[in-house]
Amino acid sequence: MEEKGLTTAKEVFKAKEVILQEEWDSLIEDCKAILIESVTTVRGAIIECKWELGNRLLEAGDERITPLLQRVAVEVHVSERDLFYCLAFRKKFPSLKEMWGRVPEGKNISWHKLVNNYIDFALPKPVLSIEDKFDEWGITDWWQKQKDLQVLRIKNKGNAFTLVVRVGKVLEVDRKRLSEKISIVYTEITNFYIGIKGWKKADLDHNDYGRINNAIKAMLEKASFDKEKVKQAIKWCYLKYKDSPHIDWNINTCEKKYAEAVKNHGR
């Protein structure tokens, strides 16, 4: 049984005429216009964001960045597929002004419709090997060039990969020589660095050598195990930062600045 005095909102509206019909129609139309304008603004902002993402990726070089889209996706928390769409969108429309002028819907276009109706994905996305995706320093190539070594397979996890390498049919003395050769390279670069720093070996402990060797290993991998490049990078950092009041240069500085050092060496 309905409690006395309680009525529905519809009944109240009919009974009291709280707003005239003409005013009511105007209110509804204004609300619809606001919603449409807001949705259009949001769609436009999304499309602009997608174009800017594609533009930044294209600036890094199409062929260079495409194999690395998965890594970019992980870092920026955007799907690899969406980044691929953004790159294709930017290549399709060199400017947003051109895009707005070419699509019939104009400002009413949505990102979903752009992807499905106006961006050409007829060409299949290239299938990239794990080396192409993750081995930007060419470590795999270096291993494959080594005498009597065979790269069996690659194990990948997340954004890293592990090479499984087998020693070929070589004598034990040859394996020992290979190990000694690598050890000599580390020792030579370590001595070079210690000499530039002006340190005495007797003053260094196990942790000091561990830190030095880790940085040298990282630089050797970036240099495809070219020891001269590593030594040049160390020397460049020394000359650039030795008198800096803000940077106490060390082997870790050399590792962080390696790319800059290689680029600017000799200047």
Q: Enter the tokens of residue 101.
A: 């002028």
| SS (HEC) of 133-169 | HHCCCCHHHHHHHCCCEEEEEEEEECCEEEEEEEECC
36 by Cβ neighbours in 10 Å (0-12 / 13-18 / 19+) ranks as: exposed
Distance CA 194, CA 204 (A): 10
> Does the pLDDT at position 72 exceed 80?
yes
Any residues with CB less than 8 A from the CB of 17 and at least 6 apart, and which?
none
> Tell me, what's the pLDDT at 220?
86
Least confident of 27-41, 163-177, 186-200, 206-220: 163-177
Sequence length of the chain is 267
Average pLDDT of the residues in 247-264:
83
pLDDT single digits (tens) 4-61: 444 555 555 554 557 788 888 888 888 888 887 777 788 888 888 988 988 888 888 8
Give the residue from 243, 222, 247 showing the smallest Cα distance to 233: 222
Report yes or no: 12 and 18 within 8 Å, Cβ to Cβ. Answer: yes
Distance CA 106, CA 99 (A): 8
% of the chain residues with pLDDT over 90? 2
Q: Which residue has the tokens 């707005």?
A: 100
> Does the pLDDT at position 232 exceed 70?
yes
